[in-house]
C-alpha cells in the first residue's frame, strides 16, 4: 500500500470510528472523498498549522459539512490544534468537533457549514475578496486560492446556480470546487431527483469543468494542476466516487450517508482497507509524517510572505493595517433636508464611509438606484477591474447573502449587501448563518414598511422586523430620521462581533431636532412626559411625537422614546432601561409591522399599535389613514386606552 493510499484509508478509519463512538454522524462522505482530500492537502493546499489565520493562506471550505469528520481528521493529522481527544469527542458537549463544522479559524475551520449551498456561495465571496485585495496590494501580499468540497445536495440547492452564475460572469479563476458525485442522497439514488447534465450547466455558467475518477489520486492531482493553470474561469472538478468507499455491504447505499456503520460492518471495512480491525482511532506514524511534511509547503510560503510584508514600504504597510485593523469609525453628518427618506440619508454617507474605510465594499441585488447603496467614487468589481468596490449582484439575493458573508469571513474587507426589506426572506439562510458565525456583515434593507405604497402587500414587510429580532446575534436597527441613520451606520461599522441590519424607509421623514448619541444605546428619550410612554421606531417616531402633541392638548403628558435597536437597548444596564421606559408608567408601542414581541417593551398590560395583517396597494398617505398610523389616530387610541386603565 502506498503512503498516499494509507493516508486516505487512515482518514476513513478516523471518520468511521468518530461516528461509531458518537453513535451519530455521516461516515459515507468522508469515506468517499478521502482520496480527493489527500490529493489536495498533500500536494496543493497552502496553509500553516502553526498560524492558521495567516492572511495569505489558501481557503478550504467543506460545503458538504455533514462530512465534518473528514475535515477534523485532516486538521488533526496535519498538525492543526485539533487533538485526537477532540476527534474522540465528536458531537459531544463543549467539543470543537461539532456535528457540522463551526467556524474556528484558529483551528483551521474557515466557516460554519451544513445548510447545503451556503458553503458553495460563501466560498465565491472569499474568492472575490482575494481578487479585490490582490488588485489593491499586488500578488506579493495577496496570492492565494479558494478550494471547496461540494456535494449533490449543494448543487441541487438553487443558491448554487445563483453563485455559480456570478462566479462565472466575474471569471473567478482562482476558485476551484471538487464535486463529490456519488449518486446517493438520503432518499435514494440521485436518479430519482437529479438527472441534469451538471457539466453542461457549469460550462454554460462559464466554468472550466473536468470529470475525474475521485478514487484515483493521481488523476485528481492532474485535474487540479489543470484547474490551477486556468486563470480566466472558476473550475469544477467532477469527481466520481463511491459513498462509503470500502464498506462491504453499505458502499453506494443511502444507509451509509447519515448513520454509523455498526460494529460488524466497521470491522469488515477496516479489514478490507488494511486497517487494524481491533484498534480504534489508529494513525500510524508515517501518516503523521506524510501530512506534516506536506505542510512544509505552507510554512515556507508563509515565511516568504512575512519577509515581503516586512520589506514593503511604509505606505503599503500602513494601508495593509488600515484594511485589516481599521479601528473605530466616526462619521460627519452632512447637511440634511428637513424631510428625507432614511435610505436617501444613508446613500449620502457612502462615499464618506468609503474614504474612511477602504475595505468597505458591497452592492445590491439589482436595486442600487432604489437602495442608494453605491460608492460613487469607485467602479464596479469586474473581470476587467478587480479594484472596483461596487459589486453588481444582479437579482441574486440568495447568493448575495452568502457572498457578503464570504467577503467578511475572508478578512480585510467590511462588506454590505442590500435589497428591499421584504426580500430579506430570500437572504434569510445566509443572514442566519452569518449570525451563527458572528460574521460582521452589514445588511442594508430599504422600503421598510407598508409606506412604500402602491407596490402592495407583496412588497410590504409586516412580520419581518419581529422575525429578524428573534434571530440571535443579529442587531436590527431602524432609524427614525437622517441623524439617527448616521448613528446607525456608526453602530454597524464599529460592531465586529456579528451582523447588523439597517432597515430604512422609502418615504421621506422629518429630520428631528434632538441631541446625538442615543442610537448606540439602542433607545433614548426624545420627549419627556409622565402619564404615558410612547415607544416607536423608524418612520413612526414622528407620528408618536405628533400624537404626543395632541395628547398634551388633552391634558395627557406623553413621553416619546425612540427605540431604533432592541438588541443594543437590552444590553444596557437595567437602570438605564428604566430611566428610558419609566417605572410604573403605562407603555404604548407604535410600529408599522407585526405586534409580535412588543410585550418585551410594553409589558403584558401595555398597548401595542401595529399591523397584524398583510398590507394593501394604495398611496402611502391613504395607507396611513386606513391602518391608523396618523398622529390623530394614534392619539385617539392612546387616549381611549388610558381611559380604561384608571
Residues marked as catalytic: 397
Helices within 520-573 (DSSP H only): 540-553, 566-570
Nine cell digits for residue 266: 466497521
Q: How many residues does the chain have?
A: 646
Dihedral sign, Cα of residue 128, residue 129, residue 130, residue 131: positive
Between strands 500-503 and 360-364, the pairing is unpaired
Q: Which residue is associated with the grid cell 421623514?
A: 509
- Can you tell me the distance from the alpha carbon of 548 to that of 531, in angstroms, rounded to the nearest whole number? 11
**Which cell numbers hold the place of 79?**
498538525
What's the grid cell of residue 252? 453506494
Axis-axis angle for helices 424-437, 118-137 (nearest 10): 80
Region class of 281: left (phi > 0), else alpha (psi between -120 and 50), else beta:
left
123 Cα distance to chain centroid: 11
Q: Pick from 70, 93, 72, 69: which is nearest to 81 by CA?
A: 72
Distance CA 474, CA 457 (A): 25
- In 3-state terms the chain splits into helix, strand, coil percentages (rounded to 5) of 45, 15, 40
Q: Give burial (CB, 10 Å; 0-12/13-18/19+) of 510.
A: middle
Whole-number Å distance between alpha carbons of 134 and 125? 14
Grid coordinates representing 624 are: 396611513
Amino acid at each position: 500500500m502506498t503512503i498516499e493510499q494509507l493516508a486516505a484509508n487512515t482518514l476513513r478509519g478516523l471518520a468511521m470510528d468518530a461516528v461509531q463512538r458518537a453513535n451519530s454522524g455521516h461516515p459515507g462522505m468522508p469515506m468517499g472523498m478521502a482520496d480527493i482530500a489527500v490529493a489536495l492537502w498533500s500536494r496543493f493546499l497552502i496553509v500553516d498549522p502553526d498560524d492558521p489565520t495567516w492572511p495569505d493562506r489558501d481557503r478550504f471550505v467543506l460545503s458538504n459539512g455533514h462530512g465534518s469528520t473528514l475535515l477534523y481528521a485532516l486538521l488533526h493529522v496535519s498538525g492543526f490544534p485539533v487533538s485526537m481527544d477532540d476527534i474522540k469527542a465528536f458531537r459531544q458537549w463543549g467539543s470543537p468537533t461539532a456535528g457540522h463544522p463551526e467556524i474556528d479559524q484558529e483551528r483551521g475551520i474557515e466557516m460554519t457549514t451544513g445548510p447545503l449551498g451556503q458553503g458553495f456561495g460563501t466560498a465565491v465571496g472569499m474568492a472575490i475578496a482575494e481578487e479585490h485585495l490582490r488588485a489593491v496590494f499586488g500578488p506579493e501580499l495577496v496570492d492565494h486560492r479558494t478550494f471547496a468540497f461540494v456535494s449533490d445536495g449543494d448543487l441541487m440547492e438553487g443558491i448554487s446556480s445563483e453563485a455559480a452564475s456570478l462566479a462565472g460572469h466575474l471569471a473567478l479563476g482562482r476558485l476551484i470546487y471538487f464535486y463529490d458525485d456519488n449518486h446517493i442522497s438520503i432518499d435514494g439514488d440521485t436518479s430519482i431527483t437529479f438527472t441534469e447534465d451538471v457539466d453542461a450547466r457549469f460550462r454554460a455558467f462559464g466554468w472550466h469543468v473536468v470529470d475525474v475518477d475521485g478514487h484515483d489520486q493521481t488523476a485528481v492531482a492532474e485535474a487540479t494542476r489543470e484547474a490551477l493553470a486556468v486563470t480566466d474561469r472558476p473550475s469544477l472538478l467532477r469527481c466520481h466516487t463511491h459513498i462509503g468507499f470500502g464498506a462491504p455491504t453499505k458502499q453506494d447505499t443511502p444507509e451509509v450517508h447519515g448513520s454509523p456503520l455498526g460494529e460488524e460492518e466497521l470491522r469488515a471495512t477496516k479489514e478490507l482497507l488494511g486497517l487494524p480491525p481491533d484498534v480504534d482511532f489508529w494513525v500510524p506514524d508515517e501518516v503523521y509524517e506524510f501530512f506534516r511534511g506536506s505542510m512544509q509547503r505552507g510554512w515556507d510560503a508563509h515565511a516568504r510572505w512575512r519577509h515581503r510584508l516586512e520589506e514593503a514600504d511604509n505606505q503599503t504597510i500602513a494601508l495593509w493595517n488600515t484594511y485589516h485593523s481599521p479601528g473605530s469609525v466616526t462619521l460627519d453628518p452632512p447637511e440634511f433636508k428637513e424631510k428625507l427618506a432614511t435610505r436617501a440619508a444613508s446613500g449620502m454617507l457612502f462615499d464618506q464611509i468609503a474614504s474612511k474605510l477602504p475595505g468597505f465594499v458591497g452592492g445590491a441585488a439589482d436595486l442600487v438606484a432604489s437602495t442608494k447603496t453605491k460608492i460613487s467614487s469607485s467602479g464596479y468589481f469586474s473581470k476587467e477591474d478587480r479594484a472596483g468596490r461596487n459589486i453588481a449582484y444582479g437579482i441574486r439575493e440568495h447568493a448575495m447573502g452568502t457572498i457578503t458573508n464570504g467577503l467578511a469571513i475572508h478578512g480585510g474587507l467590511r462588506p454590505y449587501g442590500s435589497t428591499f426589506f421584504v426580500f430579506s426572506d430570500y437572504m434569510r439562510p445566509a443572514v442566519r448563518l452569518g449570525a451563527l458565525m458572528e460574521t460582521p456583515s452589514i445588511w442594508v434593507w430599504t422600503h421598510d414598511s407598508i409606506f412604500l405604497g402602491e407596490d402592495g402587500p407583496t412588497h410590504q414587510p409586516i412580520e419581518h422586523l419581529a422575525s429578524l429580532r428573534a434571530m440571535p446575534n443579529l442587531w436590527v436597527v431602524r432609524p427614525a430620521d437622517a441623524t439617527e441613520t448616521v448613528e446607525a451606520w456608526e453602530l454597524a461599522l464599529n460592531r465586529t462581533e456579528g451582523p447588523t441590519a439597517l432597515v430604512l424607509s422609502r418615504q421621506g421623514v422629518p429630520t428631528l431636532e434632538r441631541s446625538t448619541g442615543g442610537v448606540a444605546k439602542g433607545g433614548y428619550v426624545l420627549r419627556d412626559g409622565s402619564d404615558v410612554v410612547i415607544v416607536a421606531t423608524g418612520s413612526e417616531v414622528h407620528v408618536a411625537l405628533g400624537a404626543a402633541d395632541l395628547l398634551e392638548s388633552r391634558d395627557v403628558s406623553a413621553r416619546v422614546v425612540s427605540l431604533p435597536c432592541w438588541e443594543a437597548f437590552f444590553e444596557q444596564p437595567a437602570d438605564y432601561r428604566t430611566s428610558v421606559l419609566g417605572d410604573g408608567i403605562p407603555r404604548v408601542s407604535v410600529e408599522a409591522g407585526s405586534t409580535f414581541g412588543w410585550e418585551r417593551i410594553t409589558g403584558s398590560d401595555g398597548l401595542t399599535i401595529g399591523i397584524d395583517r398583510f398590507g394593501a396597494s394604495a398611496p402611502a398617505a391613504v395607507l396611513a389613514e386606513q391602518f391608523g398610523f396618523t398622529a390623530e389616530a394614534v392619539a385617539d387610541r392612546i387616549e381611549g386606552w388610558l381611559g380604561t386603565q384608571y
